[in-house]
Amino acid sequence: MKRSIWASLIAAGSASLLAACGSHATPSAKPTTTHPQAQTSSPAPASGNVDPLTDLASPQHGPLVALMIENSEYGRPQYGLSSADVVYEAYTEFFYYPRFLLLYYGHAPKLAGPDRSARPYFVSLVHQWPGAAYFHAGASTPAYTTITQDNIHNMDLDANAYNLGTRVSFRPAPHNLFTNIGTDMQAAQKIWGNSGVKAPWPFVSHVTSGTPKDTSITLSWNSHNSVEQWRWDSQAQGWTRWVDNPDAGTGFQQVMGMNSGKPVLAGNVIIEYTNEQYLYDPAHTGWIQIQTHGQGKALLFLGHRQYSGTWKNAGPGQPTKFYLPNGQLAPFNPGPTWIELVPNSQSAANSFKLTLQ
């Protein structure tokens, strides 16, 4: 049965950057639609090779990089989505387009982007991850203020980290700025070192198979070009991502990892209900603010397990925790986690619609 839910600086581093970003070319391999091996079915053994953000074996071990990536129809398909450990998605200005904040620790794709500008609530999310180096291409005025106030490890691809961004020839500006995460990690380590990260949430000790009550999660950020869907893949035992551009009449297209050629697969999908408001904007570009601290309701899709739970964040420096209906910490499935920050009410963003089926 279908159910609809209406919800809702420049602080430069202390040293000059010596590492240069290598040139990038469009991958020649055509994406394949074959299913990847289920990441959620074989967690890595407990060792120093385990990525604490996914509980899976990984070739890279930081330092932690946070990156802003565009999510408009002009920026799709994105590069670097399937390599991220944790992905946040939330509105930018006007409550129209969403945007991504991606965290990289266990993998370092050579091409990630298109890279775009910061917003204050994304800065606050970065602040939840001590030691993270924040890569972005400029920022709104409130975001620059927050970067400075929160002492964020700032890497502005339009300013102090200019040499770490590359304008590619296969996309028009401003949707053509990309970066190399491996080079970014080297630059961040040169300035701040590598403090490592701790597992932000518990993982299950034994992965089980099954089918969730709802096998599709549809997020309509706006009805013109940004309708997204998570679909349960019983073979992969994970959530695959799809996107629709209704104005173009394309229908839902599967989101592929442009570096890997494999479908984007999430072990966990979190719907985090938040409060939003417009900010005073002298330039009339539609600045908004989104709640990142406090607590609220959440829908938890942890592998095939599905719950109506809650989220809580005590303040800066602490990743948000997610709780089951009984008040216990939610045990996550091994694999990447996507956190969708959506409006609490229709009045906050009357274009947003969440549908479970």
Residues 138-191 pLDDT 10s: 999 999 999 999 999 999 999 999 999 999 999 999 999 999 999 999 999 999
Under a CB-based contact definition with an 8 Å cutoff, are residues 196 and 73 in contact?
no
pLDDT at 26 over 90: no
Euclidean distance between CA atoms 139 and 116, whole angstroms = 8
Read off the pLDDT of residues 6-16 as tens digits, 9 standing for 90 and up.
233 223 333 33
* Distance, CA of 201 to chain centre: 16
Whole-structure pTM value: 0.86
Greater model confidence, 286 or 77? 77
Greater model confidence, 252 or 42? 252
Q: Is the peptide bond before 120 cis (omega within 30 degrees of 0)?
A: no
Give the per-residue SS3 of 242-276: EEECHHHCCCCEECECCCCCCECEECEEEEEEECE
Report, as an integer, the average pLDDT of 74-92: 96
Strands in 77-193 per DSSP E: 86-91, 98-104, 133-136, 153-156, 165-167, 177-179
What pLDDT score was predicted for residue 347? 52
Q: How far is CA 297 from CA 195, 224, 251, 262, 343, in A?
A: 32, 27, 31, 32, 11
In this structure, the number of other CB atoms found within 10 A of the CB of residue 273 comes to 21
What pLDDT score was predicted for residue 348? 53
What pLDDT score was predicted for residue 48? 65
Of the candidates 1, 22, 30, 11, the residue with the CA atom closest to the CA atom of residue 260 = 30
Tokens of 75: 């920026």
The letter for the amino acid at 22 is: G
Q: What is the DSSP letter of 141?
A: H
Q: Report domain extents, the chain.
A: 3-14+52-356
Token pair 């590492």 in the structure block, residue: 19
Confidence of residue 94 (pLDDT cuts 50, 70, 90): confident
In this structure, the number of other CB atoms found within 10 A of the CB of residue 173 comes to 8
- Length, in residues, of the chain: 357
Euclidean distance between CA atoms 185 and 180, whole angstroms = 9
pLDDT at 41 over 60: no
Min mean pLDDT across 1-10, 141-150, 260-269 is at 1-10
pLDDT at 201 over 90: yes
What pLDDT score was predicted for residue 242? 98
Of the candidates 324, 220, 239, the residue with the CA atom closest to the CA atom of residue 6 = 220
Euclidean distance between CA atoms 65 and 87, whole angstroms = 12
Euclidean distance between CA atoms 126 and 134, whole angstroms = 7
Tokens of 28: 């020649």
pLDDT at 1 over 80: no
| Rg (alpha carbons) of the chain, rounded to whole number | 19
Euclidean distance between CA atoms 65 and 197, whole angstroms = 11
pLDDT at 32 over 90: no
Q: What are phi and psi of 132, to 5 degrees?
A: -70, 140
What pLDDT score was predicted for residue 318? 85
The letter for the amino acid at 269 is: V
Of the candidates 253, 230, 198, 199, the residue with the CA atom closest to the CA atom of residue 302 = 230
CATH T-level assignment (fold) for domain 3-14+52-356: YerB-like fold (3.50.90)
pLDDT at 44 over 80: no
Q: Exposed/middle/buried for 341, CB within 10 Å: 0-12, 13-18, 19+? A: buried
Report, as an integer, the average pLDDT of 230-247: 97
Confidence of residue 260 (pLDDT cuts 50, 70, 90): confident
pLDDT at 39 over 90: no
